[in-house]
Chains A and B, each alone.
Chain A
């Protein structure tokens, strides 16, 4: 598996070079949120806002009214928790093109509860006019800005930083409201988002060898949530549906899938993997994913429960899986 560094930092510099309307706002976390290369390249389009998140979100609304597209860069928690009223009234109500780039989604930081955005999808999804996106790999990160920029209204993005894997073919960009179909199958529908997709891919590789047939979707548009591939996936399997997200199980991907299933009368068992209505704490990503049942091994356990079988898969087997960037099944079919 290819691992890349500072993907967003390099990408936004190249991407914004012919977009003079794009400006970056940063709240004193410029390097931490990979806006440093943009700052150095386009100093006149970079605005240091200091630790004034409420003011920053309202100002972004004001500047967006004048034809600019502010890209807010800070940790996700400081966007939606610190400035929710400002987002609602200064940005979302007027349906302004402000792009909120939230870093460190879920348990991706040892910074503890104060830094872990575990209910951001739930909060942002409930705001009218808001589009909610999440990146899962380097290809998502490199191609999500085009999709975000095309949205007529505000967009919130759960962004990855630092060293991130390339899971999806570089030639297959992020498409708004369209899941990536990573495997096809009829036993279980597995719907994952963000960093959970990599964990899930380790499991689906092994289970395929064991004869388990899994329909695996990687979802990166959490609102709108009207991709027909989701309904097709949950309708077309025998044993049940599993969702897996780096977020509380309330209001995020699992809830969105539950809404689709209920509204369409899909009578399948649904297992929502995620933080079980709990805050987390400061620890490593691996530790927290194990603690909260968000890793590959936990997924094996949930599949075993749904199927009523045991596969004898151990941690070493999962780590040994060699992941390579995959082509989307859907794209292949479309060709």
Chain B
């Protein structure tokens, strides 16, 4: 756990994580007000989880990356010697340290806000969001801050992280491998392939936090493709599953403190897709992307900024 200088006065990790979570919502809303659109609901649902991961759950070293992100380094290839991924924002790769993989890459804006709130990226980094030639992409790519692999195509993040985790297991690393997923990714067959693999190889150093916000791009998940009892399904696949209030920091962090027992850990963070940004509720069930219909609506959202601290 690393704390930014602004947070040293905080007395408990919960207070610090709470500050980070509020900061995530505020920065994402500010950004959306400036750009007249963005992924608001994802910040509402995931703010506490990402805050808890970065301030309490994950054992990351300090960022190794420039505070202001470098421009897009060009696509990887044999001739591109200056290529980099955004992994350095999550600290050094070391056998005793944890690794983090964000699978739903459209949560990138939330991740960038979390990096700023935890002192890993400068505010100026967010100004590069979705700008031509920048590495701070709208759908995070592996060169984007905090990202390490290509996960924009949903369902591939977990498997790629498992490849890393399998290598670490073979080397005997003590560090854990954390993956953040969205519940929509449990529509993908590849996700279930990955769970079968984790069971077979007893990959208990893999921990997965899932944003169970019940939302898909088309609307409520139950209308798009119902998942059924996700906890029971995952348990049947051999996972150690906890379903918790996704806005309760203690509940989110508790499962990560347990000794691994041979099973991969899954924390289903049951979340509210409009948490902290009440005007969003009237857009339900279309919450995937927020775009203001008129100036009045923009003003309504601007008026709650102060409430977000």
Contacts and interface: CB of A to CB of B under 8 A. Distances in A.
Contacts of A60: 163
A94 B193 CA distance: 22
B197 A90 contact: no
B162 interface: yes
B197 A50 contact: yes
A52 interface: yes
Interface string A36-60: 0000000010011110101111111
B152 interface: yes
B189 interface: yes
A50 B192 CA distance: 12
A153 interface: yes
A43 to B, nearest CB: 12
B150 A62 contact: no
Nearest to A98: B163
B164 interface: yes
Interface residues of A, number: 33
A30 to B, nearest CB: 15
B253 to A, nearest CB: 26
Nearest to A23: B170
Interface in B137-173: 142, 148-150, 152-153, 155-156, 159-168, 170-171
Contacts of B190: 52, 54-55, 58, 86
B233 interface: no
A89 B190 CA distance: 14
A68 interface: yes
B200 A50 contact: yes
Contact of B166 (A54, A62, A89, A90): A62
A89 B78 contact: no
B170 to A, nearest CB: 8
B167 A94 contact: no
A59 B200 contact: no
A86 B200 contact: no
Contacts of A66: 163-164, 167-168, 171
7 contacts: A49-B197, A52-B194, A52-B196, A62-B164, A65-B163, A95-B77, A153-B77
Given A58-B163, A64-B163, 10 more contacts: A50-B196, A59-B162, A59-B166, A62-B159, A63-B163, A66-B164, A67-B167, A86-B159, A89-B150, A90-B160
Interface of B: 75-78, 142, 148-150, 152-153, 155-156, 159-168, 170-171, 189-190, 193-194, 196-197, 200-201
